[in-house]
Amino acid sequence: MTKYEQIKLVQIALYVLQKTGGIDYYHLFKILYFAELKHLEKWGSRITSDNFYALDYGPVPTYLYDVVKGCNVSNTDLLKLFSDNIQSAGKDAPNVLLPKVEVNMSYISKSEIEALDASIEENAHLTFSQLKTKSHDSAWSEAYHHAGSKAMSSISMAKASGADDATLEYLQEQMELDEALI
């Protein structure tokens, strides 16, 4: 993950936290997931470069998950960015995340804001159980039941969101182009 991608990921998390007034990390992860689905369906592109993995309770953005949970944190730059910008609500609500600073909106596009706002509106009020059920979609199932990596593909996520054939084709071409440039 590049420095820019790390900063953008933290800014997107900050955006959600500021819009909600603070939220538990489970809701944050699912809001980000459903925003990704919306953006993939409409624009054929991701909001973040953080890969979503299919875990027992639904999809999570892996780098952000590791930083929030404090496990497998090999990316110390991301950990520092996160801790400089986001804090826990404290011992009475350790799962709730709060913003420390204002979000830098120059990292988030209008289309990403639209997807994030829609996801916040649809998902911030849902219970844990409702979010779990909603996030256990076809993309989650495909990755979760796959032997080996539980990484969720952008194509599967776009399909789960109802993307049309032209968007799926565009997304596939972009993925092949990105792979060729590496």
* Rounded mean pLDDT, 101-117: 97
Instruction: Please answer whether residues 32 and 18 qualify as being in contact, where contact means their C-beta atoms are separated by less than 8 angstroms.
Output: no
pLDDT(169) > 80: yes
pLDDT at position 148, please?
84
* Rounded mean pLDDT, 30-35: 98
pLDDT at position 71, please?
75
Using pLDDT thresholds of 50, 70 and 90, give the confidence band for residue 1.
Answer: confident
Cα 130 to the chain's mean position, in Å?
18
SS3 108: coil
The burial class, CB within 10 Å (0-12 / 13-18 / 19+), for 117 is middle
pLDDT at position 175, please?
85
Using pLDDT thresholds of 50, 70 and 90, give the confidence band for residue 9.
Answer: very high
- The count of structural domains within the chain is 1
Q: Which helix (H) or strand (E) holds 58?
A: strand 58-61
* Rounded mean pLDDT, 118-139: 97
pLDDT at position 141, please?
96
pLDDT at position 7, please?
96
Residue 21 token pair: 């007034």
- Residue-range definition of the domain harbouring residue 113: 3-181
**What's the pTM?**
0.94
Q: Which residue has the tokens 């991608």?
A: 5
Instruction: Please answer whether residues 62 and 52 qualify as being in contact, where contact means their C-beta atoms are separated by less than 8 angstroms.
Output: yes
Q: What is the largest CA-CA distance in the chain?
A: 49
Residue 8 token pair: 């953008």
Residue 90 token pair: 């404290």
| Residue 75 phi, psi dihedral angles, 5° rounding | -95, 85
Using pLDDT thresholds of 50, 70 and 90, give the confidence band for residue 17.
Answer: very high
Residue 101 token pair: 């600073």
* Rounded mean pLDDT, 149-162: 94
Report the C-alpha dihedral over residues 62, 77, 5, 175, rounded to 10 degrees: -50
